[in-house]
Structure 1
Amino acid sequence: MNTAAAAAARSRASGRDNPWLTLVAVALGVMMVGLDGTVVGVANPTIAADLDASLAGLQWVTNGYLLALAVLLIVGGKLGDRFGRKKVFVIGIAGFALTSLLCALSTSTGMLVGARVLQGVAGALLMPNTLALLRAAFPPAELNRAVGIWGGASALAVASGPIVGGLLVEHVSWESIFLLNLPLGLLAAVVTLRWVRESKDETHVGGFDVPGVALLSGGLFLLIWGVIKAQDHGWGSAYVIGFGIAALVTLAGFVVREARTREPLLPLELFRNRSLSAGVVLVVTGFFALFGILFFIGLYLQNVHGYSPIQTGVRLLPLTATFTISAPLGGLLTEKFGPRVPLCLGMLILAGCFFGLTGLEVDTGYGGQWPFYLLIGLAMGFVIVASTEAIVGNAPVERGGLAGGLQSTANQLGGVLGTAVLGSVIVSGVGSALAGNLADAGVPAAAAKAVEGQEELIAQGVAPVTPGMPAGLAQAITDASFQSFMDGLHTAMWVSGVLALVSAAIALLVSRGHGAGDGAAVHV
């Protein structure tokens, strides 16, 4: 028996190698990240009042975290493969808990943004290694079920975040939403240190590709920065185009570097696997839909229907709570049929829902909304779990951390693109429809001209009425603004529906992971 096998046998004999406790540990980790992503949105108004934060400052409370997380996820996965996934995961857990404490202690917007950036760095160490630890711990026959439960835990955190966050902000303080990560982090660290077996890529004997890290991180930063700032400058602006060109040049340099170096950060031969490449694309398109829909349906519920953040979170429960069930179900379907069937089915359901949501109107009651939310939650569970299996299951076991980093990076990139691209689509739709809607509502020409410069505000579902405005005029502007928002939202739904149909066709390229049978060959 070789050294790795002997160590694994000793670990099993001592009870330390328990795959289900490994699942508990990584589920706690993803719950920390999931909760953090949704509770902050609920707390933004309170944070703004307490820290005297501007709108731009509040946006960077989210975007600073997002940028740091997205550009370092592949690096975090590679570090896990190189130095040990358990070790890097625990460092990520500890870092996330400590930076959460720093967020809670922040006394200025700048301090909070800095703490959130550090939190994103810790999250980049944590997230990709969750999937790698599962791949190392579970036999092939049970891996899909474990990934489904992993997805369900993340969905549970996302679903409960707005409600838990709202209760904490209302009855305790905004700082308490970050302190919530401390007990979760402590429990996750204890379980990991006691029961999770270490694994890493024992075949790696070279150095670390520092130039590759710089090129990849720099290229992703430039890309995501440009996408985020497109909301302010416009997609056709020299600013955004300049960042886009810089991102393409930097990422092209990364590809050249990886093709020539002996120890690449991201081996390009991974993408020769058709299923893995298609899985990356489908994670991007899946999260493009999920984040875009959650963001803009949230605006619709809060600004058009007038619900509070907590009331909005409750009304989105058919989507988010269903995801907690559909993710494990997606794991079972993937285990039985492979990833192709749940991916195609999920994308077709999404397409049907998006096309159906083009019928939403300003006065559509909740009864006309929740069935679509429920079906989106069902479909997303299928899509996310099956696409994750397509990536992780088709990557070599020794590169499990890298595969997890790819999945998590595609996740974040899809989220950024979903909110930014669909946001631009809605702004464009509002701009096209606003003049006609103002005329139809009977708004006088002088008042209409002033309103027509407020497309970005109206694209958030907000009517630009001012104090002291005559009631009749205010109502007419509100009606026209809400209708223009709905016109833009309908266009975004059409775009999402077409993208889901294209994704269903791409899903036909995906097959079951051929490397799954190597699950026992993990080095420790």
Structure 2
Amino acid sequence: MTTTTPSTRTVPRGLRGSPWATLVAISFGVMMVALDGTIVAVANPAIGRDLQASLAELQWVTHGYLLGLAVFLITAGKLSDRFGYRRMYLVGVVGFVATSVAIALSSGVVVLVAFRILQGLFGAVLSPAAMGLLRAGFPPHQLGRAFGLFGSLLSAANAAGPIVGGVLVSTFGWQAAFFINVPVGAVALGLGLWLLAADRPADRSARFDLTGVALLTVAIFALVWALVEAPTVGWTAVSTLAPLAVFGVFGAVFVLWERRPADPLLPLGMFRNPSVSIGVVLMLLMALSLMGSLFFVTFYLQGVLGLAPSRAGVFLLPLMLTMGVTSPLAGRLLDRVGAKIPTVTGLLSSAVGLFLLARLGTDTAFAYVTVAFLLLGTGLSLVMTGATAAIVGNVPMRFAGVASGMQQSAMQLGGSLGTAVLGAVMSAVIVATLPGHYRDAGLDAPDAAQATEMQSTVAQGVAVVPDGASAEVVRAVTQASHAAFLDGLHLAFGIAAVVMALAAVLALFMRAGRSTGEPAVHV
């Protein structure tokens, strides 16, 4: 049985290796990964036109990246613990840029999707290593501030993605959405080589848990596949149930196996710390509520309110800006009082914001939406910072990489689960209520089969208007369709609000104190 020691680093001399220099160095890498997650949505229509891609193929431009990222995060975190955070971070940066160039040069959608999956793998290498560098570089009493600033960078990148993407795609073509990673990656690589101090792996002699890697990879791959397929084919389809069964079997075998090896991929002993266990669940529930409900906000803004994309972006700015501004403040608060109080407060604030969004109408004012987004953004900043600190800050330093991979996996899987589950709720409500709204508008009600066929369009805030319909009929159909859409939206946001409120109750069982994980040991 091997023994492990905390990952060690050289004593910082001047700028190189200092905590804040570390944060600056990794900022460009993590922002590049976050930016790529949102910028592609803007590029997809142009990719479809240029490569003659179908809607299903275009969906896999996004899903492929998610698949590569989610499947490899925990394994990549373990690799960072094993081989060093600096080394793996730099490998992730180089690989991410190289695959970005390959994507931009792709002449067919199949090749493009393959490189997107590979890009996700390198994103999975980069992200836990960056978090491990933060965990190793900052003393425990400053970890909250570091995680808060880290969250602020991610929020800024996510907010900038659609704007930057729109400018690049409209000016230079869809390839520019990927070529932009070349200069950003060059800066990330240069700063990494200059500012990041060399770190010593936790234990060079540790054996890698290849069986655990195989079991976990198959389990997460099957789960992500099922969540991607379910909104299209339904939850009862074989193509959904079969991978869910595979996930259940391989996931159970993985948990049983991880009790055996001396150097497990995912040390189950970490979960004996209640803050770590609760933090993982909170990250999952937060992502489920946020991603699952906000997926439909754009459809509401553009479809129901009839806003142009640029105007819809203005409506979303309060949410993104609030998260960017309040994340560093949330980090400072965590350093002072610990994660419990801010996390509970953030969950309750998010629940109230989601409850307000569950009352949106066809004439909701910008001020109302802004207040809801301010509450939601402030709450999410506290939750993300608190849950991250609870997970990564409360594990021994030698497990910082795998803990970071676990935290980010929970967020990715929670977002996919939320989109699939709340999307199913939206669809079911629309099918159930659309005929009644048609009758209320003085129209012939569609039967169950017709309502099912129409729900996909209505769920995007768009009315299915018959060819040659009069203006009066167009208004009536639109009114009925929007009413059914809002019925589904209200229930989806209501469920998300309840989930956040229940999560606040769970957060009460977190430890009240500050992070207790091992500090970095300097030699």
Task: Report how many aligned residue pairs link the two structures.
Answer: 519
Q: Quote the residue 2:400 is aligned against.
A: 400
Contact 1:134 1:146 in 2 (8 A): yes
Moved more, 68-77 or 167-176: 167-176
Distance 1:8 1:513, change over 3 A: farther
Contact 2:89 2:130 in 1 (8 A): yes
- Structure 2 CA distance for aligned equivalents of residues 265 and 520 of structure 1: 21
Q: Quote the residue 1:72 is aligned against.
A: 72
Contact 1:394 1:513 in 2 (8 A): no
2:413 pairs with 1:413: yes
The one-letter code of the counterpart of 2:320 is T
Work out the percentage of aligned pairs sharing the same amino acid: 43
Q: Counterparts in 2 of 1:15-26, with a 5 A limit?
A: 15-26=15-26
* 1:161 shift after superposition: 1.1
Q: Quote the residue 1:227 is aligned against.
A: 227
* 1:445 shift after superposition: 4.2
- Structure 1 CA distance for aligned equivalents of residues 48 and 303 of structure 2: 18
Moved more, 147-156 or 255-264: 255-264
Q: Deviations over 1:449-487 (max 9, x none)?
A: 745531122112121124423332222221111110100
Moved more, 42-51 or 223-232: 42-51
Contact 2:338 2:515 in 1 (8 A): no
Moved more, 159-168 or 214-223: 159-168
Moved more, 507-516 or 228-237: 507-516
Q: Quote the residue 1:256 is aligned against.
A: 256
Contact 1:19 1:137 in 2 (8 A): yes
Contact 2:82 2:206 in 1 (8 A): no
Q: SS of the counterpart of 2:263?
A: coil
Contact 2:278 2:510 in 1 (8 A): yes
* 1:308 shift after superposition: 3.4
TM-score between both structures, scaled by the size of structure 2: 0.95
- Structure 2 CA distance for aligned equivalents of residues 5 and 410 of structure 1: 24
The one-letter code of the counterpart of 2:183 is P
Q: Quote the residue 1:239 is aligned against.
A: 239
Q: Counterparts in 2 of 1:37-116, with a 5 A limit?
A: 37-116=37-116
Q: SS of the counterpart of 1:202?
A: coil
Q: Deviations over 1:135-193 (max 9, x none)?
A: 11111121111111111001000111111111222222211111111111111111111
2:170 pairs with 1:167: no
* 1:204 shift after superposition: 5.4
Q: Quote the residue 1:8 is aligned against.
A: 10
Q: Quote the residue 2:440 is aligned against.
A: 440
Across the aligned residues of Structure 1 and Structure 2, the Cα RMSD in angstroms comes to: 2.0
- Structure 1 CA distance for aligned equivalents of residues 282 and 9 of structure 2: 38
Q: Quote the residue 1:276 is aligned against.
A: 276
Q: SS of the counterpart of 2:519?
A: helix
Moved more, 109-118 or 278-287: 109-118
Q: Quote the residue 1:310 is aligned against.
A: 310
Contact 1:201 1:399 in 2 (8 A): no
Q: SS of the counterpart of 1:453?
A: helix
- Structure 1 CA distance for aligned equivalents of residues 31 and 283 of structure 2: 19
* 1:56 shift after superposition: 0.5
The one-letter code of the counterpart of 2:521 is A
Contact 1:390 1:513 in 2 (8 A): no
Distance 1:246 1:4, change over 3 A: closer
- Structure 2 CA distance for aligned equivalents of residues 212 and 100 of structure 1: 30
* 1:446 shift after superposition: 6.4
Contact 1:344 1:507 in 2 (8 A): yes
Contact 1:166 1:309 in 2 (8 A): no
The one-letter code of the counterpart of 2:333 is L
- Structure 2 CA distance for aligned equivalents of residues 452 and 69 of structure 1: 33
* 1:244 shift after superposition: 1.3
* 1:515 shift after superposition: 6.0
The one-letter code of the counterpart of 2:369 is Q
- Structure 2 CA distance for aligned equivalents of residues 37 and 372 of structure 1: 24
Moved more, 79-88 or 106-115: 106-115
Contact 2:304 2:461 in 1 (8 A): yes
Contact 2:323 2:378 in 1 (8 A): yes
- Structure 2 CA distance for aligned equivalents of residues 314 and 112 of structure 1: 32
The one-letter code of the counterpart of 1:392 is V
* 1:324 shift after superposition: 0.5
Contact 2:290 2:496 in 1 (8 A): no
Gapped regions of structure 2 (runs ≥ 5): none
Q: SS of the counterpart of 1:511?
A: coil
* 1:513 shift after superposition: 6.8
The one-letter code of the counterpart of 2:187 is L
- Structure 2 CA distance for aligned equivalents of residues 199 and 71 of structure 1: 26
Q: SS of the counterpart of 1:422?
A: helix
Q: Quote the residue 1:29 is aligned against.
A: 29
Q: Quote the residue 1:292 is aligned against.
A: 292
TM-score between both structures, scaled by the size of structure 1: 0.95
Q: SS of the counterpart of 1:519?
A: coil
